[in-house]
A and B are shown apart, each in its own frame.
Chain A
Amino acid sequence: NAGVTQTPKFRVLKTGQSMTLLCAQDMNHEYMYWYRQDPGMGLRLIHYSVGEGTTAKGEVPDGYNVSRLKKQNFLLGLESAAPSQTSVYFCASSYLGDSFSNQPQHFGDGTRLSIL
């Protein structure tokens, strides 16, 4: 029973490099989310998706792109990494946000990303 799986778990990048974080869920959830978590800042929403083929901006979208080509996968891309993007990134998924209002978001274990 995998739930939400994130790869990789750790990564170190140099400024200007690009990379893609992968999130996969096996719960047939419609909604998927990418957050970043920084000390003292809580979880901040980067981008989210309400279904296959759709994406939307969250609170802090600049410098990131996302794609949801398949319902079970949600990819987060950094085109040109900057030190300010050093953070822990969490992916989450849930059933339809309002129709199933008591259903929580399920989180992956996180990706620890350092940009030098």
Chain B
Amino acid sequence: GQNIDQPTEMTATEGAIVQINCTYQTSGFNGLFWYQQHAGEAPTFLSYNVLDGLEEKGRFSSFLSRSKGYSYLLLKELQMKDSASYLCAVRPRGKLIFGQGTELSVKP
């Protein structure tokens, strides 16, 4: 079967660093995506990993280990506007399978 796990909620302080983990078990693998979704809005693309290692994009980085079925999203220098849901999604073949999302609250 297909299974993607993320923590339901996380809280962090403005200016800090937070790591959101994602573990997956899927039949096939052709990439892992991270999306950000603010309340009441559409998901927007953050990052993509298909090979092992770290991908950095400004304040956001994403890591993948295919052998462990594991990824994380690292957010640095947290800002209040980073309060949102972060969705991990794996593409076994063409279509995406989404985790339930991690609700991140950034406190002053």
A: residues with CB less than 8 A from B are 31, 33, 35, 40-45, 48, 50, 58, 90, 97-98, 101-102, 104-110
Contact = CB atoms under 8 A, between A and B. Distances in A.
Interface residues of B, number: 24
Interface of B: 8, 30-31, 33, 35, 41-45, 48, 50, 87, 89, 91, 93-101
A98 B93 contact: yes
Contact of B87 (A43, A48, A50): A43
Contacts of A31: 94
Nearest to A102: B48
Contacts of A45: 95-97
Of residues A42, A45, A98, which shows the largest number of chain B Cβ atoms within 10 Å of its Cβ? Answer: A42
B31 A101 contact: yes
Nearest to B6: A42
A97 B44 contact: no
**Taking each of B8, B97, B99, which has the highest tally of chain A beta carbons within 10 Å of its own beta carbon?**
B97
Contacts of A40: 8, 100
Contact of A110 (B30, B35, B42, B44): B42
Closest 3 CB pairs of A and B: A97-B94, A104-B45, A42-B100
B42 A42 contact: no
Given A42-B100, A107-B44, A109-B42, A101 B50 contact: yes
Contacts of A106: 45
B100 A50 contact: no
Contacts of B87: 42-43
